[in-house]
Amino acid sequence: MTLRAHSKTSTPEIGPATSEADLVAAARPGTDDARREAAVRELVRRLNPRLFRVARGIVDSDAEAEDIVQETYLAAFGKIDQFRGEAAFATWITRIAINAARMQQRRARPHESYDTVTEEPADPANVLSFPGVGSERPETALGRAQMRALMERTVAALPSEMRLPFLLHEVEGVRIREIAADLSLNPITVKTRLFRARRRLRAAMEAELRGGFDTVFPFDGARCAGMADRVVNALRETGEL
């Protein structure tokens, strides 16, 4: 008897291992509703930290930033057919978030200038070096929540033209040339703003800092799940899902 291989094709499930390209394809109109919703939720989960930090790098409060993140998702998923894949989806939606946050700032501060940094030559001796997180004693671990709060207050106090490049580069690991392209700036201007941001932070935090900047402005846990629920419900109400 000859055994034949069982050839049954099945659609891979959406999950943490799904590639960004497959998630975007599944999130487009015409996909099975359940699969599309799962793709939207997974993209929201992955992108929440970056988009929240980008928005928070421009606006002045967590509440404003959270509103901008939701607005960004609705705009992106509502016109996802306009995404041609010429850049990564994360890059495309990040630019939408930047534009949305800038529009919010213009509405809030219509007479404020947004490009007022005076460039200065960088002094490498004054650039803050950030210690990595190694093995820490119990008392250090207990103080990390307070340290994160200090870091957030200090970063939040930076002018937005310094805060956004700092968060993109130091927290999200975006390269200077990419930041310059997204913000329509000269790479030298981005480097100068990063230098000035580090110098300001050094003055406020160098004696106390013991952790990395990956904990600044987190957007996870219940807040992350809640954003996915709100985005999905709003897309349903507008008929986009």
Is the per-residue pLDDT at 220 higher than 80? no
pLDDT tier for residue 219 given thresholds of 50, 70 and 90: confident
Alpha-carbon gap, residue 17 to 2, rounded angstroms = 36
What percent of the chain shows pLDDT beyond 70?
74
Q: Out of 66-75, 139-148, 184-193, pick the least confident.
A: 139-148
> How would CATH label the architecture of 20-112+220-237?
Orthogonal Bundle (1.10)
| pLDDT at position 92 | 93
pLDDT (tens digit per residue) in 80-91: 999 988 889 999
What pLDDT was estimated at residue 108?
Answer: 74
Domain with CATH 1.10.1740.10 in the chain: 20-112+220-237
* Topology, domain 124-215: Arc Repressor Mutant, subunit A (1.10.10)
137 phi-psi bin (left φ>0, alpha ψ -120 to 50, beta other):
beta
Which backbone phi and psi does 184 adopt, to 5 degrees?
A: 55, 50
Q: Among 37-41, 177-181, 207-211, which stretch is predicted with the lowest mean pLDDT?
A: 207-211
pLDDT, mean of residues 124-138: 40
What value does the mean pLDDT of the chain take? 78
**CB-based contacts of 209, cutoff 8 Å, min separation 6:** 130, 131, 147, 151
Contact of 89 with 18, CB cutoff 8 Å: no
The predicted model gives 140-148 an average pLDDT of: 63
Q: Supply the pTM of this predicted model.
A: 0.64
Outline which parts of the chain fall under CATH 1.10.10.10.
124-215
Give residue 123's pLDDT band: very low, low, confident or very high (50, 70, 90). Answer: very low
Q: What is the pLDDT of residues 4-33, one digit of tens each?
A: 444 444 567 888 899 999 999 999 988 888
pLDDT category, 218, cuts 50, 70, 90?
confident
3-state secondary structure (DSSP) of residue 118: coil
